[in-house]
Amino acid sequence: MLIYAADDESGIRRLIEVFLKSEGYDAVTFETGDALLEAFMQAPCDLAILDIMMPGSDGLTIAQALRRVSKVPIIMLTAKGEEEDIIRGLTLGSDDYLIKPFRPALLLVHVKALLRRVSLEQEAQRQADQAGDLACGDLLYESGARQTLCGGQSLKLTLTEQNLLLYLMRRSGRAVSREELLRDIWGYDTEVETRVTDETVRRVRAKLLKAGSAMQIETIWGFGYRMDAGGNP
């Protein structure tokens, strides 16, 4: 597996490179995101790690550029407390984030989970194609077009948003724990502290609201989420 990482701090680059190589990954580091993007266009990697604040184009801009041409998994690195950057990064197409400083072992957990997620998404797509179209309230998932409609209009979901919504549609009326979602959608097999689930749910909710859907993703406090028609107990 080839992993690219861009960070303007030489110590962080060295830590990432040494630790990932010790785990059997082929890791290549870059001082700028622009250099990573240039390398990616020549030889795509299997996963990209991007610091947000770098000389030249910042990590958010590079993530957006990568997402225009590829579905490569992206981990964003951000300083503690920069919550707006985390939300913006996830919205622009990154898949996960780490707050600096971080332990190398935690980086490995996130890397393994994202690479595992690629296989999960492929399997989920295969199952969705086999199952065919799925109706849930006023929502319709079209397996042929691989999109979800509300009132005949596409919700324009990202791949992760689509997988999450489809997962909840299949389990409509049942509470689903955050741990279950992290395992089955994001590929985590250990307990981690991450807001990717909450942030992805927030974005899907916003798109459902904008489309005028009666379906809601309810928060089950201290547990997880449940999809149901608005107004149901």
Q: What is the pLDDT of residues 180-232, one digit of tens each?
A: 998 888 877 666 666 788 888 999 999 999 999 999 999 999 899 999 976 44
Question: Is residue 153 classed as helix, strand or coil in its secondary structure?
Answer: strand
Kindly state whether residues 69 and 160 are assigned to the same domain: no
Cβ atoms of 227 and 216 closer than 8 Å? yes
Rounded CA gap, 58 and 105, in Å?
25
Copy the structure tokens of residue 168.
Answer: 């909840």
pLDDT tens digits, 78-110: 886 566 777 777 777 788 888 888 888 889 888
Domain residues for 26?
2-102
Instruction: Give, in order, the Cα–Cα distances in Å from 140 to each of 16, 155, 172, 211, 220.
Output: 43, 10, 13, 13, 24
CA dist 162 and 204 (Å) reads 8
At 3, phi and psi to the nearest 5? -120, 130
What's the pLDDT score for residue 83? 66
Q: How confident is the model at residue 175 (pLDDT cuts 50, 70, 90)?
A: very high
Let me know if residue 196 belongs to a domain.
Answer: yes
CATH code at position 170: 1.10.10.10
